[in-house]
Amino acid sequence: MPDPIERVINLALVLASARKPITAEDIRDQADGYPAASSQSDASFKRMFERDKRMLVDAGFVIEADAEGRYILDAEATFAPRIHLSAGDRILLGSIGATLGDDPSFPFRAALGTALSKISMVAEDPALALGQQEAALDDESAAVSLLFDAILARKRVSFDYTGAKGQHRRRNVEPWGVYLFAGRWYLVALDADISARRTFSIRLMRSMSVNAGSPRTPDFEIPADFTISSHVRLPFQFGEEDFDVRIAIAPGQAWRAEYLTAGSGTLDVTPDGGRLWNTNARSRSRLARWVIENGPGVSIVHPEEIGRDVEAGLRQVAQMHRGVTT
């Protein structure tokens, strides 16, 4: 069971993710740390819940209760007002942040990564998406900055790249947008040599160059209907396979569903309050790794054989550790 502080944090997350007033009973089911109704009396739960709620109120959370005793977080009163940034502002912040984060002498690297991660991944700018996880503040920063400039100027870019099949060739692309996911930057671009849209991992790019000819004249135009948020891909959506997948998210983890899915596929509510996520995948091994990294409470329903392999692997690991003493 989580300690009291972790339980209060889970309560805050459940309230923050609720789209409508929620009952205390629903909170008990969704916030990790509260004993099940079968193992704790309603009176004991009520006392625990009221103590936790008071801690949040003392910390500045504004929690309202309606006439039916359901609770909702007043986000506008609790959090600072939303700041609206222009496309240029977001690109400038991302570029400067990547540069500062790459400097070991900069004393606020961790705080900077957290701040950058709060910039919306579905910002109005169709060419830029900053992800919801920690910012990639490493040797990718120079390449990211170069690509930002190329996107703004609509200039073609060339680089050496090794694809998933191990094929190495020089790529000549029209850069349409970049996004950050799981601490890594990605480029969505039109590969001019094959006239196809592709997603590239920026950390795998080598010897990048931007077309220097006619610097004030755009080489291309980004399609009017292009949005980078629709091209954000999860780690298991890179690869040579292509298959459908269904992932079950347990009721106690339902508050994480929108974050985990990153807008990919469809998300349905199950009768028990959990979520069933339908999406696509391109790598079985990466899918299995992703499920393990984001569990417990996340499991593969289809394809069944991958789910069985994950369960078997976890059982094997648990069995290996049963005899380990420290």
pTM: 0.46
Gap between the Cα atoms of 175 and 191, Å rounded: 9
**Radius of gyration of the CA atoms of the chain, in A:** 23
Q: Can you tell me the distance from the alpha carbon of 130 to that of 290, in angstroms, rounded to the nearest whole number?
A: 20
Count of C-beta atoms within a 10 Å radius of residue 206: 12
pLDDT at 134: 38
Query: What is the fold of 4-78?
Result: Arc Repressor Mutant, subunit A (1.10.10)
Cβ atoms of residues 279 and 245 within 8 Å: yes
**What is d(CA 253, CA 59) in angstroms, rounded to the nearest whole number?**
24
Give 100's strand partners.
Answer: none
The CB density around residue 32, as the number of other CB atoms within 10 Å, is 17
Condensed to tens digits (0 to 9), the pLDDT of residues 186-202 reads 889 999 888 888 888 88
Task: Decide if 71 contacts 17 (C-beta within 8 A).
Answer: no
Residues of the chain with CATH 3.30.70: 237-322
- For the residues 164-191, what does the mean pLDDT come to? 82
**Distance between CA atoms of 238 and 233, rounded to whole angstroms?**
7
Mean pLDDT of 199-224: 88
Token pair belonging to 285: 């091994």
Give the H or E element holding residue 266. strand 266-269
Q: Which helix (H) or strand (E) holds 115?
A: helix 109-117
Burial code (b: 16+ CB inside 10 Å, e: under 16) for 125-155 equals bbbbbbbbbebbbeebbebbbbbbebbbebb
pLDDT value of residue 130: 44
Q: What is the pLDDT of residue 286?
A: 83
Q: Sorting pLDDT into bands at 50, 70 and 90, what band is 138?
A: very low
Q: Residue 254 and residue 245: Cα distance in Å, rounded? A: 18
One-character DSSP codes across 144-213:
HHHHHHHHHHT--EEEEEE-TTS-EEEEEEEEEEEEEETTEEEEEEEETTTTEEEEEEGGG-EEEEE--S
Distance between CA atoms of residues 92 and 97, nearest Å: 8
* Cα–Cα nearest to 183, from 253, 110, 96: 110
Distance from C-alpha of 273 to C-alpha of 30, rounded to nearest angstrom = 9
* Residue 228: pLDDT band with limits 50, 70, 90: confident
Task: Give the distance from CA 314 to its chain's centroid.
Answer: 24
Please report, rounded to a whole number, the percentage of residues in the chain having pLDDT higher than 70.
74
pLDDT, position 90 = 64
In terms of pLDDT, which residue wins out, 225 or 1? 225
Q: How far is CA 276 from CA 30, 102, 165, 246, 262, in A?
A: 16, 39, 32, 7, 14
pLDDT bucket at 320, cuts 50 / 70 / 90: low
Task: List, for residues 37-68, the tens digit of each pLDDT value.
Answer: 888 888 999 999 999 998 888 888 899 988 88
Question: Contact, 85 vs 119, CB < 8 A?
Answer: yes
Secondary structure of 208-254 in the HEC alphabet? EEECCCCCCCCCCCCCCCCCHHHHCCCHHHCCCCCEEEEEEECHHHH
Q: Does 184 or 60 have the greater pLDDT score?
A: 60
Give the pLDDT score at 172.
Answer: 94
Over 90: is that where the pLDDT of 81 sits? no
Every domain of the chain with CATH number 1.10.10.10 lies at 4-78
Q: Provide the b/e sequence for 274-307 (b: ≥16 CB within 10 Å).
A: bbebbbebbbbebbbebbeeeeeebebeebeebb
State the average pLDDT over residues 164-176. Answer: 83
Tokens 């916030």 sit on residue: 31
The residue that leads in pLDDT, 176 or 314, is 176
Mean predicted confidence (pLDDT) in 161-184? 80
CATH topology of domain 237-322: Alpha-Beta Plaits (3.30.70)
